[in-house]
Structure 1
Amino acid sequence: MSRLEVLAAQSPVDFDFDIISCSPSLSTTIPRDKTLVNAIANGLLSSAPHVLPGHDTASGLVLGKGDARVDDDVTIPGLPPLLRGHPDIHLRNGVMNAYELAAAGEVDAEKAFFVADLSYVYRQHLRWKANLPEIEPFYAVKCNPDPYVLRLLAALGTGFDCASMGEISQVAAINIDPSRIIFANPCKAASFIRSAAKSGVDMMTFDNTDELYKIARVNPSAKLVVRILTDDSKSLCRLGLKFGAPLVSVPGLLAKARELQLDVIGVSFHVGSGCYDSSAFADAVKRARSAFDMGKEAGYEFNLLDVGGGFEDGSFETTASILKDAISQHFPNRRDIRIIAEPGRYYVSKAFSLAANVIARRAPPALERGSQDVDVDPEQPSVMYYINDGVYGSFNCILFDHQAPQPHVLSLGGSFHVPASVPLRASSVWGPTCDSIDCVCAVTQLPETLQVGDWLAFENMGAYTMCAASQFNGFEVSTVMYTAGGGADAAEVRAVLRERGQ
């Protein structure tokens, strides 16, 4: 009998407190309905078919009814249902559903999946408005173009930073006013500029002379923003390697823009994606002030300052304080200046979690025989686990975004409870493809008893993950389950989506 079929429990499991202890991130504000929790948990451990009300056969996800499951009053055509409840509950629900589908012989039953908590995105927006009330957020679509995220942010009144015609089309499809879109790619295809103009998107960035000639030829009525080079040496992704005009070249660019009769309305900068030194924003604002002065000398009256992205969740309040002080110092009279920003990962990084199934395992023969006296270096991985998502899929963030995701055990031996006393062993985690670079974790500590069929979870998987996932080797991109959350914010999320007309 396969591992997935061994689900019988010897006795009911009481999850009155264990469901919290095995998941430190689970908020204690979740309704502690012992009957519901134990019904869910023991449904996984029961050999009888586990059936929850409602079954979405298209997505392969179990859906429920009422407050604990699916939100009946928010329905967006073409999108999965919006569930209710804490995301950890839906991670477990997805695992239970996978066991059920595997028992029924479903192909790819154990497929990896995301759970997205839209209430986190909502709270991040409130946090932004509280700390940077003068600055309009223009969400960086490239970070995560998830349709629910875009709709929620649109309903909250954000703008959108788009880097391609595809992104502009995706945002336009949810009826965003073109004035809330900036085409923030300094090097654009002429056909994209032309198509953007037809969509009413005229605000766009530039950082070189050739771009000015191109825009003058294709859309001479564009509203241009000169992107200047800043110090991005303290960021995970140094965008200055590719974009940004040095200040010394700005006067010449503005002179050329005047010669071509183009309308330059402001200045933008980007300190780099994932900036870990908030002082970089102060220096960038100082440079932007110089560029504003250069604009005045060239005959322009700039009215837009775009402070770009790079905002990190952990340092947000510090960054906001430094940024506000710098703006007040260098732009004391800003009554006629519109200030925008391009946050991306700030909104979504922690909103998405990923569950992946252990599909294979390699261990030394001594470990396979159950011997505890294995002569291995305890700091070096002695067991290799293979999961069904990897660097060619959702974990491309390892290669492209310099991330180092770490797993925690979601289910072990058919149980969601992982006792603290379980011995750990240095292990490595690998993706499912046949490429040797497909390594998710080179070294991590996992329980010795972890086996094929168990599940791992990865947090903070919302930024630069699924947006760049491929289907290399024929592996499908992981699907997403959505919840409005389990706290007081859940009702606000649903209300905002409903008010916008869904």
Structure 2
Amino acid sequence: MGGGSPMQTVLSAPGVKDGKVVSFTLDAATDEKDTVAGLIRSIIATSSPAQRTAFHVFHINTVVDLFSAWRRTLPNVRPYYAVKCNPDPALLGALAALGAGFDCASRAEMEAVLALGVGVGGVPPGANRSIVYANPCKAEPHLEYAAEAGVALATYDTESEVAKVARCHPRCELLLRLKGPDGGTTGGDLMNKYGAHAHEVSPLLRAAQRARVAVAGVSFHVGSPVSRVDVYRGAIESARAAFDAAVALGMPPMRVLDIGGGFRAGAAFDEAAAVINDALADVFGDLLPCVEVIAEPGRYFAETAFTLAARVIGKRARGEAREYWIDDGLYGSLNNVLMDHKVPRPRPLAGACPGEKTYASTVFGPTCDSQDLVVTGYQLPEMSVGDWLVFDNMGAYSTGAGSKFNGFDISEMKIYVAYSS
């Protein structure tokens, strides 16, 4: 991170400085969400009618604060942001400026990070230590691109992947991906798709040994978001067993431990960090001076930093029930309802008056698919076409996973980068 305050460094970072940053004053006596709502009203008021469509506000201060909290709470664990969670260039640029690394799963994700100056193409293999190619099953052209770009740390959990790496990127170092214990996830459970079982660890290490591909360490992921933080201890114990197995096979000592993601900002993060810090001290205490510990947080940095504003474009009243259509939905940034089990809690941008009557309301997205349903039976005051709904905590698995279904293109949605003082 360069000189000056963290915020000054972030505001001058590639990906941030390249776009217009909207500044506003954060009143200490006012709730942050209400202040952001005021900014949304200002954006709408100064937009032309043609521009008054759904948009996001990215409050960049939130990421700066979360990064600082990470450094205080997990001081010996470098975060490698999971790009898949939200690939917004301003978010990537801010995290790069703060000192984060990046978890990339494809050529496009690596290119997005490299475009910000996090390493450059054509560097010698192994020169870029800020990207982990954290996809255990990689397409050969993507792997060849990683070799060209100097991205030389990648995950694996099958013997076929060892052969592929030996053929396409022989100087790449590997992290053996372990199957972690069940984290009681409510969203993304990766356990059935990725991760070596305990009895597979030694054979996979031997496969790399035979192929003369270096194994730098171990990775695991306990799912996202994690509701049972105690699972990190079990996963760290399994990782130590893999470290010891490599020593028993006469392999060079491992030096990287990747504890994955699943973190959510707030009290849950503090609880997880306490378990992780204790487990690392207990299980890896004798190795820590020689082992780099990294993690792959996604939603921790992205979720609470983004707010969605969506416009009511249609309405129907049926008795006491109300139905509304908005200009974003399950095929747009609200796809996190399906993909990430998001429970939307929309609120009227205009606010609600005390004692104002509310109605059991259904909110649909804009497509012609009847399953494009955002909420149903949700209490809202009377809304009109042209009114706006606000959705908080919309940064995780939202804009990055939308589509162009029915001609509604998520890539055209405006994201306003906001800085508060």
Q: TM-score, normalised by structure 1?
A: 0.75
CA contact 2:16–2:93 (8 Å) conserved in 1: no
CA contact 2:183–2:229 (8 Å) conserved in 1: no
Equivalent pairs counted in the alignment come to 388
State the Cα distance separating 1:383 from its structure 2 match: 1.1
Verify: 1:401 aligned to 2:351, yes or no: no
CA contact 2:152–2:171 (8 Å) conserved in 1: yes
Verify: 1:238 aligned to 2:186, yes or no: no
Verify: 1:353 aligned to 2:307, yes or no: yes
State the Cα distance separating 1:443 from its structure 2 match: 2.3
Q: Which residue does 2:246 correspond to in 1? A: 295
State the Cα distance separating 1:469 from its structure 2 match: 1.1
CA contact 2:183–2:228 (8 Å) conserved in 1: no
| Residue of 461, 469, 479 corresponding to 2:394 | 461
CA contact 2:140–2:164 (8 Å) conserved in 1: yes
Distance 1:279 1:265 in 2: 26
Verify: 1:187 aligned to 2:137, yes or no: yes
Distance 1:397 1:456 in 2: 17
Verify: 1:138 aligned to 2:80, yes or no: yes
CA contact 1:194–1:219 (8 Å) conserved in 2: yes
Q: Which residue does 1:308 correspond to in 2? A: 260
Verify: 1:383 aligned to 2:322, yes or no: yes
Q: Deviations over 1:450-469 (max 9, x none)?
A: 11111100000001000011
Structure 2 unaligned runs (5+)?
1-9, 27-35, 120-127
State the Cα distance separating 1:90 from its structure 2 match: 2.0
State the Cα distance separating 1:228 from its structure 2 match: 0.4
State the Cα distance separating 1:386 from its structure 2 match: 0.6
**Counterpart mapping for 1:241-390 below 5 A:** 241-300=192-251, 301-314=253-266, 315-333=268-286, 334-364=288-318, 367=319, 382-390=321-329
Distance 1:330 1:72 in 2: 40
**Percent of matched pairs sharing the same residue:** 39
CA contact 1:112–1:355 (8 Å) conserved in 2: yes
Q: Deviations over 1:323-367 (max 9, x none)?
A: 100111100121000000000000010000000111101112xx5
Larger Rg: 1
CA contact 2:55–2:415 (8 Å) conserved in 1: yes
Which sits farther off after the overlay, 191-200 or 475-484? 475-484
Distance 1:194 1:404 in 2: 40
Query: What is the identity, as a one-letter code, of the residue corresponding to 1:192?
Result: H
Q: Deviations over 1:28-65 (max 9, x none)?
A: xxxxxxxxxxxxxxxxxxxxxxxxxxxxxxxxxxxxxx
**Counterpart mapping for 1:65-84 below 5 A:** 79-84=18-23
State the Cα distance separating 1:233 from its structure 2 match: 4.6
Q: Deviations over 1:361-411 (max 9, x none)?
A: 1112xx5xxxxxx5xxxxxxx211110000000101011111111101102
| Residue of 344, 349, 353 corresponding to 1:419 | 353
Q: Deviations over 1:410-432 (max 9, x none)?
A: 02xxxxx5312211111111100
State the Cα distance separating 1:285 from its structure 2 match: 0.6
Distance 1:282 1:253 in 2: 23
State the Cα distance separating 1:80 from its structure 2 match: 2.9
Please tell me the root mean square deviation across aligned C-alpha atoms, in Å: 1.8
CA contact 1:312–1:345 (8 Å) conserved in 2: yes
Q: Which residue does 1:483 correspond to in 2? A: 418
Distance 2:163 2:16 in 1: 42
State the Cα distance separating 1:168 from its structure 2 match: 0.5
Q: TM-score, normalised by structure 2?
A: 0.89
SS at match of 1:129: helix
Distance 1:110 1:212 in 2: 51
